[in-house]
Every structure is written in C-alpha cells, then in structure tokens.
Structure 1
Amino acid sequence: MLLRCQPSRIQSHLRENAEETGCESCLLTGSGATSSSNESEKTSWLVSAQNQASEIRVLGETDTIRGKLNVNLVPGESAKKKMLLAVAIVFLTLANTVRCVNSPCHSAMPGMPGIPGIPGKDGRDGQKGAKGESGIPASALGLNELKGEKGVKGSVGPKGKSGPMGPPGPRGDKGLVGLQGEGGVPGNQKRQHQSAFTVARKTAQLPSKNNPVIFNIEITNDHKDYDVTTGQFTCRTSGLYYFVYHASQSSNLCISLYVDGETKASFCDHMSNTHQVTSGGTLVQLLKGQQVWLAVNDYNGMIGVEDNDSVFSGFLVFPD
C-alpha cells in the first residue's frame, strides 16, 4: 500500500521533532518559513524527499527503509541533509498510524484475528440421492469359499421355557421285586367278624391255683385274640362265644371259666384211674374288650405231656 500525504503534514511532524531536539535549522514552517537561500534549499530538498518516500511501500521492515535511503543519497551531500532525510523517512513511517485530514490515507498493520463466532444451526436435510447400482455378487468374487476363524464360545444363556410334552416312550424293563409291605386293614367284612383259637399246654408242671392257666402252644390263633404269655382271651368283636377245654389229669381236678374275674362255669373230676381226661364247655355273651381265662383251685392235677395233652378252644358263634 502506497503512503500519499500532503507536504503540510510532513512539515508538521518536522516542526514537532525540531522543538523536541532543539534543532531550529531542522524546522520547516511552510508559508511562515525564513526566506533565506538556505531555507529555500531545504524546502525544495524535503519536497523531493517526500516525493521519493511516497513511493516507498510501508512494510514495517527497517532493512527496506535503509536500502531506500542509501540509494537516494549521493556522495558529497552535507551531514545536515542526511539527517533531515533520515528524520523525514522516520516520520513518514510513523505517519501510517495517523489519520490524514481530508484524505483517504490509511496504512496500518493487520490486526489480530477475532474470536470465532457461535456455530450456526444445522442446515436442512438434503434431498434423497439416486439409487446406486447393484454390487457384484459375492459368488463372482469367490468370497463364498473364504471362511473366517472360529470365534470364542459364548456364555450359556438363560434357561428357556418348557416345551410341549413329547409322545410316550417305550415300556421299560421290569424292575426287581420290592420288599414285603406291612399288613393292611382287613377288607373282608366276614373276616373282620371272625374269631377262633385253639391252644395247648405242653408241660408236666401243675398250674398254680387261682391264676390263669397258661396254654403256651398255639394250634390256631388267627387274629391273636388269645395271648400265650398271659393265658387270657380278649374279645375283639362283641357277640356270642363258645369256649371248651379238654384236660389230661394225674390227680383230682377242678376248673372254672372266668369273664373279667367273674366265674361263668366250674367243672370237677376226681381220679378213678391212673390217667384220665376231663372236659367242659359253655356259651358266653361278650362285649368288645372283655377277657376270658381258665383257672384251677386246690385240685390242680392238669398235666400236658406226650400223649396226654390239655387244650383250650374258643370261637365266635354270632357277632352282635
């Protein structure tokens, strides 16, 4: 950019510099200058320097100004002219920062870049582009034959829902025979109302008096209504019962049948031979839970040895 200023502007800068340095010979006053031959020579020389400096581009580089100065000066010029030319060049350089009056003269260094502005809003979506051409099939490129490496096995997923029930499978092999279970409740009505027993006394020892005679061998005792350890029968089903005994004796014998400690029948047989047999029986109405037994008194000659047995039997005739 070229610096173009009026001569009066340059003279004003020289006047300010002369006042500061005290060099009155460097002062140019324009129309008020001294009309001496020296001052006229100075004025014409400064105007020439102004014309030369106006063609210098103001770049802010000292080497460029120094080079211009060396070109315009010729050997033999006085030291005062050199100083005046240097001052003129300096003030012309500084003048680019001063606004010239009534002139579009502006020459300044470029300023710092400004702060970036706020980003603007996104623009509208563009129009849909045209459909592209179909690509080359993978089979044509031979990609079907390429196979990647086997991936890492993933973790087990959550348990899924139960599926529908499948068809029945074939019949399995027959299992082993299980253990025998416990006896169940009798299921036959007639069986529940049955009660019968026959027990024998196998001992040569005579029974003790006024105590139940114990028949220790079971011949028939289906429901275990007779207890071979106590010698007592316990009624399980209420009804009419028949009891009978057959006793071998070696001496006089008297036997009584008791129901819960009450005598229901008594039989006595006195010895007339070395060995003999006596018997007796009776019908008794019993309630469930009542007990029946045989007992002897002082005549207790009952025995139970080989070929001479003593037995006691009983059975339900009619249930209630």
Structure 2
Amino acid sequence: MSCITLLVLLLLLSCALANIKDNNLSGFCAGHPGIPGTPGRNGYPGLPGRDGRNGRDGLPGQKGDAGVQGLRGPMGEQGIPGLPGPIGEKGFKGDSIISFNSAFSAKRSKTHTFPPLEEAVQFDVIIHNDQRHYDPVTGKFTCEIPGLYYFVVHSTVFKTSLQFDIMKNNVSMSSFFQYYGNWPKPVSLSGGALLQLDVKDQVWVQVTVGDYNGIYSSAKTDSSFTGFLVYSDWQNAQILI
C-alpha cells in the first residue's frame, strides 16, 4: 500500500471518529458556520394589567422642625371705625398718686387751771402732729392743704359748767354746753364739726360765755383736741405741688 493511500485512510478514519464523538453521522466532516439569519419582527404590546389593590396608609411621619419666621407684612389700611359701645358702670374711686395728709391730736396738761375767756384754748401736749399744722403754743390749727376736715373736742368737766365753741377765723362754727349740777366727780362733754377749709384758714377751741370754762385735766382724765383731713380740694391742692 502506498503512502498516499495510507494518508487518505487515516484522514477518513479521523473524520469518522469526530462525527461519532459529536453524535453527528450525517457527514464525515463538519461544515463551515452558516450565514446568520435576519432579525425577527418586534412583538405586539401586551394588554394593560389589572389595577392593584390600594395599599394601607403609612404611619404618620415625625414632626418637622419649625420653619424660620417670615418677614412682617406691610401694615394694612385702616378699617372703618366701629359703633360706640354702651356706657360702662362708674368705677370705684382710686387712690391718688400724690397723697395729701394733715392730722393732729393734742391734750391739755394744765391741771386745775381753767382757760381764759375768748382766747384759743391751749392743748399743749402733742399726741400726733407729723405735718406740724397745729401749733401747741397758740392752740390753733392752720390749714396748709385745702379740703374738708373733721375736728372733735373731748373735754373733762369738773366743778363748773362748760361751754366751748369750735372756731374758724374768729367765727363760731359749732357750740357745746354742759351744765354743772354739783356732781362729786368729773363728767365729759364732747363735740365735733366738719369744716371746709382753704389755705391759711385757722381753727381752734374757745370758751366764750361767762365763767363756763370748766375744761379740766388730771393724771387720770384728759381734755383733747383732734383734727384731720377727710379729703383734699384737688383744684386748689395742685397749687401747692
């Protein structure tokens, strides 16, 4: 056998073995790759799917931080004034920002000494006289704050009758009398008056009738003169500020 013949047989045998290995017995040798086919057409769109079920509400979110305050807007136009409201009830009288005070109280110290007639009775022992509007030497009160004042006299009467007047600028404003009935012990006589006073008006106590001057004082009994401002006259009081 020639060499060429031997080579052809070996070639045929190797092709047969290759076809058996690839399970392809249709031919003795594998052919060359075929030409790629043409691309296929795009498919038609599918039908819309059914709507899904509504989901559950989510949990509330956390509160956010406060935002930055915005700028103040421009002032709006003034509105139409409303109708007047009903008149309210009268309020209580308030306290004055400026306080006007005037008050005094004094008693007699001259034991068994009766005052002279038609002169101011001296109540020379001061009990209260912060504003010094009462003069214990003269026995007279001098008005420094115009207004309404109240004056009162409490007198012990002993061994004689008593008649005294509350005087304003030499004019009797009120008069009081106690008749002595030979009592073995002292008795009392009191009297008071509300007086409207202007600046520099004076008020005092005076005995004016005969010997009816039985104002008495001792270690256990007193005769006193007291006065104080009830309320001031505002219009005139402003002048003193």
- TM-score between both structures, scaled by the size of structure 2: 0.53
CA distance in 2, matches of 1:292, 1:235: 8
**Counterpart residue type for residue 152 of structure 2:** V
2:194 is aligned with 1:286: no
The alpha carbon displacement at 1:305 in A equals 1.1
1:302 pairs with 2:215: yes
What CA RMSD, in Å, does the superposition of the two structures yield over aligned residues?
1.0
**Which amino acid counterpart does residue 173 of structure 2 have in structure 1?**
K
1:313 aligns with: 226
Residue 276 of structure 1: how far off its partner (Å): 0.4
For the residues of structure 2 that align with 1:215 and 1:292, how far apart are their CA atoms?
A: 13
% same residue: 37
Distance in 2 of aligned mates of 1:291 and 1:219:
20
Per-residue Cα deviation, 1:83-127 (whole angstroms, up to 9, x for no partner): xxxxxxxxxxxxxxxxxxxxxxxxxxxxxxxxxxxxxxxxxxxxx
SS of residue in 2 equivalent to 1:289: coil
Q: Does 1:257 align with 2:148?
A: no
Q: Return the alpha-carbon distance in structure 2 between the equivalents of residues 202 and 305 of structure 1.
A: 8
CA distance in 2, matches of 1:306, 1:207: 18
Aligned partner (choices 124, 138, 142) of residue 230 of structure 1: 138
1:266 equivalent to 2:179? Answer no
Secondary structure of 1:268's counterpart equals strand
Cα distance in 2 between the residues matched to 1:249 and 1:268 = 10
1:317 is aligned with what amino acid? V
Partners of 1:209 and 1:304 lie apart in 2 by: 18
Q: Distance in 2 between matches of 1:262 and 1:220?
A: 26
Q: Which amino acid aligns with 1:311?
A: S
Rounded to whole Å, the distance in 2 between the matches of 1:277 and 1:257 is 17
Give, in angstroms, the shift of residue 200 of structure 1. Answer: 0.4
Q: Is residue 198 of structure 1 aligned with residue 99 of structure 2?
A: no
- Is the aligned partner of 1:243 residue 2:151? yes
Letter in 1 for 2:105: T
Deviations 1:124-163 (A, max 9, x none): xxxxxxxxxxxxxxxxxxxxxxxxxxxxxxxxxxxxxxxx
**1:1-320 to 2 correspondence within 5 Å?**
189-190=98-99, 193-203=100-110, 204-250=112-158, 251-272=160-181, 273-274=183-184, 275-297=186-208, 298=210, 299-320=212-233
Q: What per-residue deviation string (whole Å, max 9, x for no partner) do you get for residues 152-180 of structure 1?
A: xxxxxxxxxxxxxxxxxxxxxxxxxxxxx
Runs of 4+ in 1 over 4 A off after TM superposition: none
Q: Which has the higher helix share?
A: 1
Q: Distance in 2 between matches of 1:200 and 1:294?
A: 12
Rounded to whole Å, the distance in 2 between the matches of 1:304 and 1:268 is 17
The structure number with the bigger radius of gyration is: 1
What letter is aligned with 1:267?
A: F
SS of the counterpart of 1:189?
coil
Deviation at 1:304, TM superposition (A): 1.4
TM-score (norm 1): 0.40
Which ranges of structure 1 fall in alignment gaps of 5 or more residues?
Answer: 1-187
Question: SS in structure 2 opposite 1:309?
Answer: coil
Where does structure 2 lack aligned partners over 5 or more consecutive residues?
1-96, 234-241
User: Within 2, Cα distance between the matches of 1:306 and 1:248?
Assistant: 12
User: Higher relative contact order by CA 8 Å / sep ≥ 6: 1 or 2?
Assistant: 2
